[in-house]
Structure 1
């Protein structure tokens, strides 16, 4: 695990690749230092353990999915912590869940795959009034769209996928925040073990340099794709936040990134063509899609998935840097074909 000392203590020319990427990520968030960790689950686990004590209580987003949800409900419980899951889009629900032993509030800035933004300013006020620490997973937005430390968060965690590493070469996570908490987190990370190889850190450093440019293209592309989907009769719902729906975000957000999800009509049973249209030519900077019911939320029962709004026809789409208009055209044709071919029967994905 790498030192959390400020960048000024080392000559940049001689800093390790990991140290350089930590400094670059910290700068993007307006912080002094950061940690590069081999995996977002390890980063989150280490952070929550470092900021709580045995007997402590955490409030976590009910949109947290496995494997992290399993860590929160089993591993942390075995270490004496308890967790209450709440809807973080309702700041009053967060406040209601506070107990005398509560120490941390953990939430995503934007839930994935239903793309619900959390009112971090309001949650941070509740946290500060109750002497709680706000930890934010900002993966779905990145510092190009939101800097949670400016809203009152004390720690920010981000997976390198889908935005920090635009080419998909690196599987890691970054943690930044107030300096007084990072040494504790670094100690916990060291206990969990592992390190990010220098070459991976080098690739990530290069990718961070283009983050604002890539996110601008992905945000604009996601808006165009969402507009097409909303107008298509094969699509029942589109999950993509906007400033009209969340005017409070005008104070904190630049935009809502390159993610969206959509649910096709219930009488469309074959999603093969729709998924193929989302991925196109599989270029490194292209779009990708998945079915949450078959991937991130496959561990849940059908009943629980439906209660959470994760149906078998929900498609989660990460819009790439490349031409969003071409993606819209492919998707429109695939949806037209799916409508023409609907015959009922078994679903195929």
Structure 2
């Protein structure tokens, strides 16, 4: 089936008992068993729930994986994935990783004994130089958050396989509609499902999808042991949101492209970060591994004063944390997504105090442009 058909009919079958087109919500914490010797498919909802299983299978199918797991948040998915490693292990991580991931690796996981080295992963030589005998995996975002850096996934996975490493990729920005890392040789794909997969700013959730069944079993073991699972009501909401993923991504991406064109004409805009621009250093790599530039862009203003004026002046784009909703969201990385990163670390990565990130929603892009123009006094 084509992607759009898969979204509607792939892993969410019609209810065989009553014919419901919407998957039932199983609000049950436990399941009665037939006997001491004959247990059913489900026993306790932390270990498995029919509604959760439906959304897990749906996301795994879209990514082309064998095992999908739904978690209570994107960070729960990331943290649980890190738990497949052991104290003393080492990861090579892209340097401008999401601030929450940076915080987890530099504090909680470091205290536990998992080490991480942050590198410019757009340079395969930098990745190779950071690998040690204790390295177990590469952890990548492409495009990265918030500078939209593009990592050549085929080059990264080739290096990883040569050295016997796993490759883990956060695919939140692209979604499986625009990019499927498992098909490019990666081993685990992660999502903050809160964002585009759900798409309506009403659920906190995360997903991990494994390509190899045995790796999937390892992740499933951690999910059950930690118990940071997604509740059935939220699972149902994500199933609902997934059905419109293609049309939402297409419309939001078209809006982002139009807004970038306008931003290029604005004197107060100092720099634009968007993989759809031919001048973007990762433009060709992104085109080779993705089917579109996505709906998220970042840009720098000419001064802190202009940045503050923009943030205070926008009316249509909500000034908020997060992204990927039907409504446009303007974020300020220095105090939002990357507030956990020390100022010196942010500056070293190019995350300036004049940088804003815009997730384009489903509003008419001309209205969004007019809103931005009014806020900038353009």
Q: Is TM > 0.5 for Structure 1 vs Structure 2?
A: yes
Specify the SS of the correspondent of 1:320. coil
Specify the SS of the correspondent of 2:92. strand
Specify the SS of the correspondent of 1:84. strand
1:236-247 equivalence runs, <5 A: 236-242=270-276, 244=278, 245=280, 246-247=283-284
Match of 1:310 among 351, 355, 358: 351
1:180 shift after superposition: 1.5
1:169 shift after superposition: 1.0
Structure 2 residue 191 is the aligned partner of structure 1 residue 158? yes
**Worse-superposed segment, 148-157 or 263-272:** 263-272
Match of 1:186 among 220, 233, 241: 220
How far apart are the structure 2 equivalents of 1:77 and 1:270?
35
Match of 1:144 among 157, 163, 177: 177
How far apart are the structure 2 equivalents of 1:176 and 1:329?
40
1:278 shift after superposition: 6.2
RMSD of aligned Cα (Å): 2.3
Please, what TM-score do these two structures have when normalized by structure 2? Answer: 0.81
Match for residue 346 of structure 1? none
Cα displacement string for residues 34-57 of structure 1 (whole angstroms, at most 9, x for unaligned residues): 00011111211211221x233221
1:240-319 equivalence runs, <5 A: 240-242=274-276, 244=278, 245=280, 246-266=283-303, 268-269=305-306, 271-274=308-311, 276-277=313-314, 279-280=316-317, 285-319=326-360
Q: Is the 8 A contact 1:139 1:161 kept in 2?
A: no
Residues 291/128 of structure 1: CA separation in 2 closer, same or farther (3 Å cut): same
1:221 shift after superposition: 0.7
Residues 197/56 of structure 1: CA separation in 2 closer, same or farther (3 Å cut): same
Residues 270/80 of structure 1: CA separation in 2 closer, same or farther (3 Å cut): closer
Match for residue 57 of structure 2? 23
Cα displacement string for residues 169-226 of structure 1 (whole angstroms, at most 9, x for unaligned residues): 1101011122211111122223322332211111100111111111111111111111
How far apart are the structure 2 equivalents of 1:11 and 1:227?
43
- Structure 2 residue runs of 5 or longer lacking an equivalent are 1-9, 17-23, 25-48, 320-324
How far apart are the structure 1 equivalents of 2:331 and 2:253?
19
Q: Is the 8 A contact 1:222 1:259 kept in 2?
A: yes
1:281 shift after superposition: 7.6
Specify the SS of the correspondent of 1:268. helix
How far apart are the structure 2 equivalents of 1:176 and 1:121?
18
Cα displacement string for residues 221-272 of structure 1 (whole angstroms, at most 9, x for unaligned residues): 1111111111101111111112734213333201121100111112634624
How far apart are the structure 2 equivalents of 1:110 and 1:236?
20
- Structure 1 residue runs of 5 or longer lacking an equivalent are 1-6, 338-349
Structure 2 residue 366 is the aligned partner of structure 1 residue 325? yes
Match for residue 232 of structure 1? 266
How far apart are the structure 1 equivalents of 2:82 and 2:269?
39
Structure 2 residue 204 is the aligned partner of structure 1 residue 167? no
